[in-house]
């Protein structure tokens, strides 16, 4: 990287057209001088013209030299680039798609799905303007086609778009089926709401909207075992408590009132926590030294509550809290170097990987990129699938169905590969991991 | 899978997608320099020739007039160079921003670093803008680039130009493409592209198609001038063949050449040539990264019929299931369909929680997680319920749990 940077410095400070420009200026003044002299004293014309020839040639030689220096700088930069990126070939997307299908398939053929993912990504990132520009452009491009992408209908065009959609009344029934009672633009409205609340929460430290939302969705949140409602109330309590340092008594009373009104609803699950909060009122004069100080002096509280809110909000929409597209691209960045190496090795050895459904190598990802439990059969080293599911033997050990069938072929009893216990093949039980 | 390989980030190999990022401004700088050279060459000749007739014996008035003309030419040169210098400065600024962006990654120590997340976000924005530009969604690309402040990291103007030419070609207009070929003549020669010949042939076809006598003569002249030369015999022969076959011919290859699909062919050829010339990958990098990412994340569970989260869309009004783990991006509506065709990740070891138990309905859970989830659901002590079934699930006694061993 350093050599690239150094080469860039040379380019921007020295090896650029500024010198050539200076020399062109010099050339112009040379000509101008000659002209002025001739005009003021026409008799000297032959002299000045004769004097002009050589400097003129020199000027152009100089300009040529200036350009040569730029060229030299560029070559240096190119060399630095070459050293940095030794492998000049870019990885192709073909490794991701099934190798047997060739490179032409893959994501190219699924443009509409990719674009739907992008549109949803823009929404969940809160880039509503960009999203609506995008939806408009996609619609405009699709206008000439017989089969416009279905997903477009899930995004509301604030102005005008609705009318266009209205024309397609014939498949209104289908829409009903696909989009239920929620209607078009549902997702967009939802995310707009989320960012509205988040903005209040994160930037203005205003809890009102978030608390209202949590109360309206109390039952669903409860069903998920979410702490959001409690966390918000706690934050509100702390806010009231510390709101006016000048008038500590009023603040205390407000907090107490709030606690009386709100905390009983949390009694079943948060009795201990609410009790602790109310007890802090007794320490009001020396909170900082009290055992409760972490409850009050926690600068990351707003951020973490905002994150919790985002997570709960997206969960109720059945969506992951980080954009899947972002997760996938980051994972792709981590996996690509390995895949590229495999591709290179396979192209030199003319090998082919045999299992079409599975990548040929491990592409390790950090733990926060692991979303499912993974079962690898200890016998066959294959992953459990719907066709070859994990089977639990009566002893509690689990092997893949095909492995079980392999070991039990022709026998009435099968011995567990891990312990001495024997059982009938039929006693094995399919488990869902 | 070891922790060591994960925590350390191998920056150089991580940057394999980012070569074009630095290459493109460099190629543009080269092109810029070439333009400057051409300008200077042209002006040099012009200035020499305008001073040529001036002899020491010339009349002063003539000399002055010649000098004025020369001065004007020098001024033009200056203006042109200034414009090129301005462009050069822009490119240098982009270059600097890009180097800094890649340098940022070198400062990231591990994948768990917050800085890595930030960097990844910028990369995603870059890749998205690149994708939008390639698909011709220029306004969206502009909007996103400015919303995310990555204008110097993306090549809007380059793609804008190529989309314009591409659109013109699809509409049957080859003028812009020919102009582009003229600008990049040397470079095109170097990669021995026959784009220009194809475009000239297209002009010939347009003339031939009319069938009028005058136009046919014109076509003949055109073919002699542009297609006959020593470059590639094939084009001259094709032109000859086209003269012999009327536009409604069934004879191949002429029927194909006359057909309207040729404009699409030319547009694709132009894009290919353009991308090769500027060392741009032929596929959007988003595709490359996305398909690798989908595979790396995908597990057999993601499309399993027994996955409690699969196929749930945000539109179904049912309540989210509770598994206590974050929702998998591949299972979510956004990517589920897209990931269907890609292979799943390779694993050599099981990845499961500790202390596994199996419920009477055959679902396996970590004991601790199951306990915590049941508590959240308010299941009475000593009882358990499958949390994926929510509040309406069957309740069993804790004694019905069985230990299960997965190695």
Mutation target vs B (from A5, A61, A75, A107; most B CBs, 10 A cutoff): A107
Which positions 8-47 of B are in contact with A (Cβ < 8 Å)?
10, 12-17, 19-20, 22-23, 26, 29-30, 33, 36-37, 40, 44, 47
Cβ-Cβ contacts under 8 Å, A114 against chain B: 131, 286-287, 290, 338
Confidence of residue B143 (pLDDT cuts 50, 70, 90): very high
Q: Which residue has the higher pLDDT, B145 or A265?
A: B145
The verdict on a CB contact (< 8 Å) between B315 and A182 is yes
Q: Report the pLDDT value the prediction gives residue A193, as an integer from 0 to 100.
A: 85
Give the mean model confidence (pLDDT) for residues B348-365: 88
Global pTM reads: 0.81
Cβ-Cβ contacts under 8 Å, A25 against chain B: 78
Q: What is the mean pLDDT of each run of 10 residues along chain A (433 residues)?
A: 84 85 88 85 78 84 89 89 70 45 56 86 85 86 70 56 37 37 62 86 84 84 77 85 74 84 78 81 75 73 83 80 87 85 77 70 83 88 89 91 86 86 88 86
- Whether B241 and B201 have beta carbons less than 8 Å apart is answered as no
Q: How distant is the Cα of A246 from the closest Cα of chain B, in angstroms?
A: 39
For residue B326, pLDDT over 60 is answered with yes
C-alpha A251, offset from chain centre: 42
Q: How distant is the Cα of B157 from the closest Cα of chain A, in angstroms?
A: 18
The answer to whether the bond into A301 is cis (omega within 30° of 0) is no
- Whether the CB of B6 is below 8 Å from some CB of chain A: the reply is yes
Q: Report the pLDDT value the prediction gives residue B318, as an integer from 0 to 100.
A: 38
Closest Cα in chain A to B127: A329
Q: Which residue has the higher pLDDT, B106 or B59?
A: B106
| Least confident stretch, A164-168, B307-311, B350-354 | A164-168
DSSP B7-61: HB--HHHHGGGGHHHHHHHHHHHHHHHHHHHHHHHHHHHHHHHHHTT--TTS-HH
Neighbour order of strands in the sheet with A390-392: A398-400, A390-392, A429-430
Q: Which of A18, A67, A78 sits opposite B26 (nearest CB)?
A: A78
Using DSSP's 3-state secondary structure scheme, residue B212 falls into coil
The verdict on a CB contact (< 8 Å) between B350 and A375 is yes
CB-hemisphere CA count at 13 Å for A214? 26
Q: How distant is the Cα of B224 from the closest Cα of chain A, in angstroms?
A: 37
Q: Report the pLDDT value the prediction gives residue A390, as an integer from 0 to 100.
A: 92
Interface ipTM: 0.81
The verdict on a CB contact (< 8 Å) between B88 and A122 is no
Report residue B346 as tokens.
């390779």
Report residue A77 as tokens.
């930069």
The verdict on a CB contact (< 8 Å) between B287 and A108 is yes
Distance CA A238, CA A221 (A): 22
Q: Report the pLDDT value the prediction gives residue B86, as an integer from 0 to 100.
A: 92
Q: Report the pLDDT value the prediction gives residue B338, as an integer from 0 to 100.
A: 85
Q: Which residue has the higher pLDDT, B235 or B367?
A: B367
Q: Which of A17, A96, A369 sits opposite B342 (nearest CB)?
A: A96
Cβ-Cβ contacts under 8 Å, A311 against chain B: 326
Share of chain B above pLDDT 70, in %: 90
Q: How distant is the Cα of A38 from the closest Cα of chain B, in angstroms?
A: 7
Distance CA A353, CA A346 (A): 8
Give the mean model confidence (pLDDT) for residues B339-353: 86
Which region, left, alpha or beta, applies to residue A376 given φ > 0 means left and ψ of -120 to 50 means alpha?
Answer: beta
Nearest to A126, CA basis, from A190, A177, A191 = A191
Q: Report the pLDDT value the prediction gives residue B342, as an integer from 0 to 100.
A: 85
For residue B270, pLDDT over 90 is answered with yes
Q: Report the pLDDT value the prediction gives residue A105, as an integer from 0 to 100.
A: 46
Nearest to A431, CA basis, from B382, B285, B310, B405 = B405
Cβ-Cβ contacts under 8 Å, A98 against chain B: 341-343
- Whether A377 and A384 have beta carbons less than 8 Å apart is answered as yes
Q: Which residue has the higher pLDDT, B158 or A50?
A: B158
Which positions 86-105 of B are in contact with A (Cβ < 8 Å)?
88-89, 92, 95-96, 99, 102-103
Confidence of residue B352 (pLDDT cuts 50, 70, 90): confident
- Whether A233 and A211 have beta carbons less than 8 Å apart is answered as yes
The verdict on a CB contact (< 8 Å) between A376 and B348 is yes
Q: Report the pLDDT value the prediction gives residue A91, as an integer from 0 to 100.
A: 55
Cβ-Cβ contacts under 8 Å, A357 against chain B: 343-344
Q: Which residue has the higher pLDDT, B372 or B25?
A: B25
């Amino acid at each position: 990287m350093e050599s690239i940077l150094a080469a860039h410095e040379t380019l921007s400070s020295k090896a650029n057209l500024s010198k050539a420009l200076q020399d062109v200026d010099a050339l112009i003044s040379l000509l101008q001088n000659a002209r002025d002299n001739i005009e003021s004293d026409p008799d000297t014309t032959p002299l000045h013209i004769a004097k002009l020839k050589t400097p003129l040639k020199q000027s152009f030689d100089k300009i040529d030299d200036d350009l040569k220096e730029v060229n030299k700088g560029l070559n240096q930069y190119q060399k630095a680039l070459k050293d940095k990126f030794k492998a000049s070939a870019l990885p192709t997307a073909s490794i991701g798609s099934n190798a047997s299908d060739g490179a032409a398939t893959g994501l190219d053929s699924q443009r509409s799905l990719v674009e739907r993912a992008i549109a949803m990504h823009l929404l969940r990132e809160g880039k509503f303007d960009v999203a609506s520009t995008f939806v408009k452009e996609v619609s405009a491009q699709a206008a000439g086609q017989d089969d416009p992408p279905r997903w477009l209908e899930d995004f509301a065009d604030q102005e005008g778009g609705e009318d266009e959609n209205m024309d397609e009344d014939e498949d209104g029934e289908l829409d009903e089926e696909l989009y239920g009672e929620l209607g078009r633009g549902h997702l967009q409205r939802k995310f707009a709401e989320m960012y509205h609340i988040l903005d209040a929460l994160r930037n203005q430290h205003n809890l009102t909207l978030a608390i209202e939302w949590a109360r309206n969705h109390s039952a669903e949140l409860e069903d998920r075992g979410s702490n959001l409602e409690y966390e918000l109330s706690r934050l509100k309590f702390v806010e009231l408590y510390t709101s006016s340092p000048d008038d500590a008594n009023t603040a205390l009373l407000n907090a107490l009132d709030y606690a009386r009104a709100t905390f009983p609803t949390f009694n079943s699950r948060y009795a201990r926590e609410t009790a602790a909060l109310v007890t802090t009122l007794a320490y009001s004069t020396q909170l900082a030294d009290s055992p409760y100080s972490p409850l009050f002096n926690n600068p990351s509280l707003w951020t973490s509550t905002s994150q919790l809110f985002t997570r709960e909000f997206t969960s109720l929409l059945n969506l992951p809290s980080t954009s899947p597209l972002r997760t996938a691209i980051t994972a792709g960045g981590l996996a690509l170097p390995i895949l590229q190496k495999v591709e290179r090795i396979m192209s030199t050895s003319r090998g082919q990987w045999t299992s079409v459904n599975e990548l040929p190598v491990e592409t390790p990802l950090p733990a926060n990129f692991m979303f499912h439990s993974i079962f690898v059969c200890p016998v066959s080293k294959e992953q459990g699938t719907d066709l070859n599911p994990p089977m639990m033997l009566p002893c509690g050990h689990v092997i893949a169905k095909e492995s079980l069938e392999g070991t039990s072929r022709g026998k009435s009893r099968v011995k567990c590969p891990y312990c001495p216990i024997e059982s009938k093949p039929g006693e094995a039980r399919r488990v869902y991991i | 899978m070891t922790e060591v390989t994960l925590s350390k980030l191998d920056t150089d190999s991580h940057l394999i997608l980012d070569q074009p990022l630095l290459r493109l401004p460099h190629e543009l700088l080269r092109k810029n320099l070439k333009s400057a050279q051409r300008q200077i060459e042209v002006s040099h000749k012009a200035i020499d020739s305008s001073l040529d007739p001036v002899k020491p014996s010339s009349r002063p008035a003539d000399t002055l007039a010649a000098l004025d003309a020369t001065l004007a030419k020098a001024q033009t040169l200056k203006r042109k160079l200034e414009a090129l210098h301005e462009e050069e400065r822009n490119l240098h600024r982009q270059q600097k921003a890009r180097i800094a962006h890649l340098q940022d990654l070198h400062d990231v120590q591990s994948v768990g670093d917050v800085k890595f997340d930030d960097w990844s976000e910028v990369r995603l924005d870059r890749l998205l803008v690149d994708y939008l530009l390639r698909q011709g969604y220029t306004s969206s690309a502009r909007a996103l680039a400015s919303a995310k402040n990555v204008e110097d990291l993306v090549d809007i103007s380059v793609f804008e130009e190529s989309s314009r030419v591409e659109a013109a070609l699809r509409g049957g207009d080859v003028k812009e493409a020919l102009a582009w070929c003229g600008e990049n003549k040397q470079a095109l020669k170097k990669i021995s592209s026959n784009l220009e010949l194809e475009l000239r042939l297209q002009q010939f076809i347009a003339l031939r198609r009319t069938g009028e006598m005058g136009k046919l003569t014109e076509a003949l002249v055109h073919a002699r001038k542009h297609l006959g030369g020593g470059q590639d015999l094939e084009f001259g022969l094709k032109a000859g063949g086209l003269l012999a076959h009327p536009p409604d011919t069934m004879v191949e290859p002429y029927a194909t050449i006359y057909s309207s699909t040729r404009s699409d062919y030319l547009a694709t050829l132009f894009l290919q040539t353009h991308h090769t010339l500027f060392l741009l990958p032929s596929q959007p990098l988003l595709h490359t990264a996305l398909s690798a990412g989908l595979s790396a994340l995908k597990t057999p569970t993601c499309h399993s019929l027994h996955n409690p989260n699969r196929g749930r869309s945000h539109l179904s009004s049912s309540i989210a299931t509770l598994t206590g783990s974050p929702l998998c991006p591949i299972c979510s509506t956004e990517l589920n369909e897209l990931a269907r065709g890609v292979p799943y990740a390779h694993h050599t070891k099981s990845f499961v929680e500790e202390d596994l138990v199996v419920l009477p309905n055959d679902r396996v859970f970590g004991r601790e997680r199951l306990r915590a989830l049941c508590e959240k659901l308010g299941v009475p002590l000593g009882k358990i319920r499958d949390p994926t079934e929510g509040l309406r699930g069957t309740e069993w006694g804790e004694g019905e749990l069985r230990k299960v061993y997965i190695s």
